[in-house]
A and B are shown apart, each in its own frame.
Chain A
Amino acid sequence: MADSVAQAFAKARDESRAALLPFLMSGHPTPQAFAANLHAAAAHADIIEVGVPFSDPLADGPVIQAAAAKALGHGTTLSGTLEALRLRAPGPPVVLMLGINQVLARGVDKFAKQAAEAGVSGAIVPDLPHEEAGEIRAAFTRQGLCLIAMLAPTTPQPRMRTILGQARGFAYLISVAGVTGARDSLPTGTIEYLRRAREHSPVPVCVGFGISKPEHIEHLRDHADGVVVGSALVRALEGGATVADVLSPLRLACRRAASKLPQITGAKP
């Protein structure tokens, strides 16, 4: 299943695009609408990030917190989410986003097995830093799942190399020190930071946090392998927009003038 992630990035690259990774919260705005949105997003997304709602997320801003609270209010669970994913029509690879306590509560091995059986390709666990990740990564790898490595603007260079040394699937570069949420502008320095990360990364590097507009993507598309759009999409869906309304212009913005981005060579740090 890790292969499906690599194939998704390869396809986007071949089509001279930055990959688009939209985020949907499971069970939001309702479980039925989530299932429909998951289906609709398949036409626009290279990889779909699916959040499993958690009661106390540390890295999420107000939009995703509120969506999680709403989804929990609808009775959304990890099991229900995996079931919805198992039942979906074939589409782009899915990575889950959830808290470490949700993984531990299920049992690490059981979680990895059930996620793999539901066709999930990997997971982003924002409160699982490199130091604590060893056994969980090993359990994921046994089931063919990627544990997505995360980099932050505060990550110093030597640490970045250590983290990227273990990266599978893709690396997630957090654009800004802060919580998730749409921002008017992206911080300066992101492009240099992407360049450094790609230099040491054995896998494609995606950037997320704060990306909400086509202009943001136009700024980043020649420097990142992919872009993640989360809060902006969740907020629009909350306001009654369709997935296509939000993702069509963003997908267009992902198109590169030419294949400007050097290919990840797989060089080990």
Chain B
Amino acid sequence: MTATKGRYGVHGGQYVPETLMPNLIALEAGYQAAREDRAFTANLEAGLREFVGRATPLYFARRLSQGYDGNVYLKREDLAHTGAHKINNALGQAMLAQRMGKTRIVAETGAGQHGVATAAACARLGLDCTVYMGALDCERQRPNVQRMQLLGARVVPCEAGSRNLKVAINEAIRDWISHPDDTHYLIGSVVGPHPYPAIVRDFQSVIGREARAQILERTGTLPDAVIACVGGGSNAMGLFAGFVADATELHGVEAGGDGRGHAAPLSHGSIGVLHGAMQYLLQDEDGQILNTHSIAPGLDYPGVGPEHGGLKDTRRAQYHVVGDAEALAAFHELARLEGLIPALESSHALAFAKRLLKQRPGLTVIVNLSGRGDKDLPALMATGGPECEVGEVKSEVSNG
């Protein structure tokens, strides 16, 4: 492929219908202007401090570190307003949209965290907000549907096909195509056509910037590794951004699902185009997109941000697969040992930290605790979570 705009190696680009191209061109220019506008960046910083509650702490998980045989630090994005890292990007993009004169926001959501963050940012700024959510996800993340509605957003369940995140993105893009003048598509991850992957990474890079400064202040050295779960990949890109120029290892963790399927395109996919960008994705030989499976709705996506594809191809980052059972075990361990209830998505990263420290004891690692798990409780209680103790759990999916 010819190098066109927004490429990370072969990945990225702009594969959208002509109706949207003028919007993408305007968005790129609008973003550039906002970045150079000191009033905008000052407003965003104030919003991150006072509305989101940044900086989020870097927490040394003492009992978990003993159990896992290393030094485990958690970047506490679960403490950000609305309970996940998603608000960093939602607030930034909503302010950008307003600066560009847009009055209406559409967004997709998987776990519901991006939808809640977008609804909150829109309420704060007085923007009209519509969130598309797969009907399956509406069922398994009911508290987040209610929170979005409480914040004044319209939630549209998507019944087509797999009834999950992929379908929600399809519908959000179709809405945007139909309202290109007044509407901004507030995409929730480092996916989609250029310039979205760069915009979302930049707004999330606050995670890595803070974590780097915090670990240096605490230990005087950089960590051996940083670890984050990867669905679309925004919390991982945000964390990686702080360390990509260092020698620190970057580990991304994809969802291995269970016997019914997985959601691990970096580990088991091939290169193609989905939702406007070339990327690793799960597809059949005819280019039809395959259905995915993960217990974590936020990871239940057949594609992955193009910059992750670039980091994989250059081997700057390594990507691994953790299945439902291994993630659930880590979920319970963090709750019992640290008094923290992680999101099922973040639990995949915790499970990989355990695996890494088992192979290489004594490392210092930062795990992005990208969100809190309250949203997952109704689904978990319905299935009856397993009781797990440290050391008892076996991994079910091999290293990708």
Contact = CB atoms under 8 A, between A and B. Distances in A.
B394 interface: no
B272 A105 contact: yes
B287 A177 contact: no
Interface stretch (A6-14, A21-29, A145-153, A248-256): A145-153
Contact of A129 (B21, B161, B275, B286): B21
A65 B171 CA distance: 11
The SS class assigned to the B binding surface is loop
Interface in B1-50: 1-2, 4-5, 13-23
Given A101-B274, A127-B273, A152 B18 contact: yes
B22 A159 contact: yes
Interface string B260-294: 00000000000011111000000101111100000
B174 interface: yes
A151 B19 CA distance: 8
Nearest to A79: B286
Given A56-B170, A58-B177, A102 B18 contact: no
Interface in A190-204: none
A99 B287 contact: yes
B180 interface: yes
A156 B22 contact: yes
Contact of B1 (A58, A77, A135): A135
A178 interface: yes
Interface in B314-364: none
B15 A100 contact: yes
A131 B288 contact: no
Contacts of B18: 126, 129-130, 150-152, 154-155, 163, 174
B216 interface: no
B5 A152 contact: no
A127 B177 contact: no
B166 interface: yes
Interface string A28-70: 0000000000000000000000000011111101000100010
Given A154-B180, A179-B177, A54 B288 contact: yes
Contacts of B174: 58-59, 61, 179
A130 B1 CA distance: 14
Contacts of B161: 55-56, 69
Contact of A100 (B178, B273, B288): B273
A127 B19 CA distance: 10
B160 interface: yes
B145 interface: no
Contacts of B296: none
B173 interface: yes
B21 A104 contact: no
Contacts of B22: 152, 154-156, 159
Contacts of A1: none
A81 to B, nearest CB: 10
Given A54-B288, A59-B177, A177 B19 contact: yes
A78 interface: yes
A104 B272 contact: yes
A126 B5 CA distance: 19
Interface string B282-314: 010111110000000000000000000000000
Interface string A125-138: 01111111011000
Nearest to B19: A152
Given A56-B166, A135-B1, A177-B177, A101 B273 contact: yes
B15 A153 contact: no
A105 B177 CA distance: 25
A150 B17 contact: yes
A126 B13 contact: no
A106 interface: yes
Nearest to A61: B174
A59 B13 CA distance: 18
A78 B286 contact: yes
Contacts of A154: 18-23, 180-181
A106 B17 CA distance: 21
Contacts of B166: 56
A134 B14 CA distance: 13
A156 B19 CA distance: 10
A174 B180 CA distance: 14
Contacts of A116: none
B288 A127 contact: no
Interface in A100-130: 100-106, 126-130
A154 B20 CA distance: 8
A2 interface: no
Identify which of B18, B23, B275, B289 gathers the most chain A CB atoms within 10 Å of its CB. Answer: B18
A84 interface: no
A156 B26 CA distance: 12
A173 B292 CA distance: 36
A203 B181 CA distance: 29
A186 interface: no
Nearest to B1: A135
A150 B166 CA distance: 26
For B19, B21, B22, B160, the residue with the greatest tally of chain A CB atoms inside 10 Å of its CB is B19
Nearest to B21: A129
A72 interface: yes
Interface string B173-199: 110011111000000000000000000
12 contacts: A55-B289, A56-B170, A58-B275, A100-B273, A102-B287, A104-B287, A129-B15, A129-B17, A154-B21, A155-B22, A177-B179, A179-B177
Given A56-B161, A56-B170, A129-B15, 19 more contacts: A55-B289, A56-B275, A59-B19, A59-B174, A69-B161, A101-B283, A101-B287, A104-B273, A127-B276, A129-B21, A130-B18, A132-B15, A152-B17, A152-B18, A154-B181, A174-B18, A177-B19, A177-B181, A178-B177
Closest 6 pairs between A and B when the two form their complex, measured CB to CB: A105-B287, A152-B19, A178-B178, A101-B287, A55-B288, A102-B287
